Amino acid sequence: MTKGKRVAILATDGYEQSELLEPRKRLKEAGFQVDVVSPKAGEIRGWKEKDWGDTVPVDVVLDQANPEDYDALVLPGGVINPDTLRAEPAAVAFVKAFDRAGKPLAAICHGPWLLAESGAAKGRELTSYASIRTDLENAGARWKDAEVVTDGHLITSRKPDDIPAFSEAVIAALR
């Protein structure tokens, strides 16, 4: 049952374009309401391969977003996006709220940096872009090289090539 279920995608400037746009598209096609949540109002700009990409409108400003209004949280990667968000106390608190509530919490590529920063990675099995493996292990995670790793309510993937499997895992968790 997807009717009425809402998904937040937490992002800011520098999100990996495909890792926000593709999961958002697939989640909407599956019947979920999807909101882009960001610390800044207006629009945020993506990163596409080696340069700045397209912008997307921000649906809800982070300081007005209530985790209780959402059934799941998606964290796209890119290097800039999660690195900026993990230094933002409100973003870390937003991630912590989903973890405490046991709601699906999905992160791809460098997005798991937020799982490390929030404490959600500790004692969990997950994957990520290979370059942040040590960061996640230092945060107490057990890292695995796989297209999708699901550990309880945490869903993680490595890179843009994993988006179809990542999106399907999020959709399955919400059903």
Report the alpha-carbon distance of residue 99 to residue 50 in Å, rounded. Answer: 32
- Backbone region of residue 50 per phi and psi (left: phi > 0; alpha: psi in -120 to 50; beta: other values): alpha
- Residue in 24, 26, 86, 110 annotated catalytic: 110
Instruction: Check if the beta carbon of residue 95 is closer than 8 Å to that of residue 76.
Output: no
pLDDT at position 3 is: 67
**Angle between helix 17-29 and 163-174 (nearest 10):** 40
- For the question of residue 110 being annotated catalytic, the response is yes
The pTM (predicted TM-score) of the whole model is 0.97
Q: How far apart are CA 65 and CA 77, in angstroms?
A: 20
What string of pLDDT tens digits covers the 175 residues of the chain? 456 899 999 999 999 999 999 999 999 999 999 999 999 999 999 999 899 999 999 999 999 999 999 999 999 999 999 999 999 999 999 999 999 999 999 999 999 999 999 999 999 999 999 999 999 999 999 999 999 999 999 999 999 999 999 999 999 999 9
